[in-house]
A = this chain, B = another copy of it.
């Protein structure tokens, strides 16, 4: 016997598949949308359907963008000789909020993780090396997360870039071990940037 209408159960199931949303939260969200206007629910639904439209990967830094090159790579006022390597697009947002970084970025879209079967070839590492071979880059700041995978990826990149004539730095361990960059406050991130050390 189905007590909950099919379309309602379907949305509860879909919400429940999202990370951090349990069955009870999924029910709550669904009934919240049910109580609201159709227009309100449609706005959310359409925002999800439109999410991937007009999204490009910047051919320089691999960030998600509406244009290619992205707004940061296309900005002449930024220091294109300093590249900060981050795991995810959200990490760029976190650093941009500090207002203390004038360089450009490179997004790996993940970290090396043997457990999850993610190797160097699954990340945008080749694209990073291509940028370095141009000879115009003086420093690469590795800003992967301060956890096992982030550190391992940083080590891997350092060994790869070491032979090239490029300074490789790592953001300072001002961040507590095990934390995620996108959750850090702006002062901690600023300190981590200022205290960066040579490998």
Residues of A within 8 A of B (CB): 1-8, 10-11, 13-15, 17-21, 24-25, 27-34, 38, 41-55, 64-66, 71-72, 75, 88-90, 92-93, 96, 182-183
Contact = CB atoms under 8 A, between A and B. Distances in A.
A3 B72 contact: yes
A19 B64 CA distance: 28
Which secondary structure characterizes the binding site on chain A?
Answer: helix
Number of copies: 2
Nearest to A12: B47
B20 A50 contact: no
Given A3-B93, A64-B5, A182-B24, A48 B41 contact: yes
Given A5-B64, A18-B29, A28-B20, A10 B71 contact: no
Given A5-B64, A24-B182, A183-B24, A88 B31 contact: yes
A90 to B, nearest CB: 6
Nearest to A29: B18
A71 B25 CA distance: 25
Contact of A51 (B17, B41, B49, B96): B41
B64 A6 contact: no
Contacts of A44: 14-15, 17-18, 48
